[in-house]
Structure formats: structure tokens, C-alpha cells
Amino acid sequence: MKPSLVLGLGVGLATGAWMFAEYVLGLHDSPDGAGRWTGFLSLVFPALGAWRLGARSGLCSWAEALRQGLVFGGVGGAVGGAAIWLYFAVVNPGFGVGGRPVAAGPQAAAGFIGALVLGTILTLAAYAWSRRKPTSPLP
């Protein structure tokens, strides 16, 4: 199986599990909104996955890096988006921000699009980083 599929699946599952763990720990319903801030920590999953894909998977060209980044972000976004929908529609349907309820569909769509874009950009950045020439301190 392609690394982009495996890593995308892993990132989607990890971010979904992180979100459910925050809910179980009561961070989403805390009055200080701690879940909003701890959620940013889940960005480590796509960053690590993109690094593994872009810098360590032996990608050969920019076109391949772009293609694999899109697959990585799309798979991660689909799994993560499904977890977001499940959370807002089934697990915590009464969740709201500022007194307004949050709809599951738009949140899942935003999660998918965000993961697609972020996964692609991070993969391309990791690929660019891996291609840079090491500079020697000696002439």
C-alpha cells in the first residue's frame, strides 16, 4: 500500500482519536474553552505524517510530491472529517460556541478541506526541505 494512503489513514485516525479523548477528558465542555487550545496540539500528527511522506518516502519529483500530498491530505481529511461529523452529530450533538449550536456537516467539510490543503502544503514543504543541498563549512 502506498505510504500516502497509510500515513493519511494514520493521521486521520490519530486526530479523530485526539478529539474524542479531549471530549472524554471534559475539555470540550470546560468553561474556559481548553479544548479549543489543546486541539491545536493535534497539528503534530499531520506535521509528522507529512515529514515522513515528503522527506523520507523517496519521492522523485515535485509532481509526485504534489500527487502524494493530495492523497495524504485527502485520506486524512476524509477520515478526520468522518470523525468530526460523528462527534458533532452523534457523540456531542448539543455542542455550541458562544451559545450557537455547531452543525456537523459544515464542520466535517471544513475539516476535510483543511486537512487536504494542510497535508499537501506540509508534504511539499518536507519534500523541498529534503532536496536542499547541505552546505559545507569548508571551501
Residue 134 neighbours by CB under 8 Å, 6+ apart? none
Please count the CA atoms within 13 angstroms of the CA of 101 that sit on its side-chain side: 8
pLDDT band at 7 (very low <50, low <70, confident <90, very high): very high
Task: Tally the C-alpha atoms within 13 A of residue 43's C-alpha that lie toward its C-beta.
Answer: 9
* Cα–Cα distance for residue pair 5/37, rounded to 1 Å: 28
Q: How confident is the model at residue 128 (pLDDT cuts 50, 70, 90)?
A: very high
- pLDDT at residue number 115: 96
Cα 1 to Cα 77: distance, rounded to the nearest angstrom: 18
The domain segmentation of the chain, as residue ranges, is: 3-131
pTM: 0.86
65-86 pLDDT, tens digit each? 999 999 999 999 999 999 999 9
Nearest alpha carbon to residue 74 among 120, 39, 43: 120
**What does the pLDDT look like over 41-71, one tens digit per residue?**
899 999 999 999 988 888 889 999 999 999 9
Of 44, 57, 60, 48, the residue nearest 4 (C-alpha): 57
**Is the pLDDT reported for residue 30 higher than 80?**
no
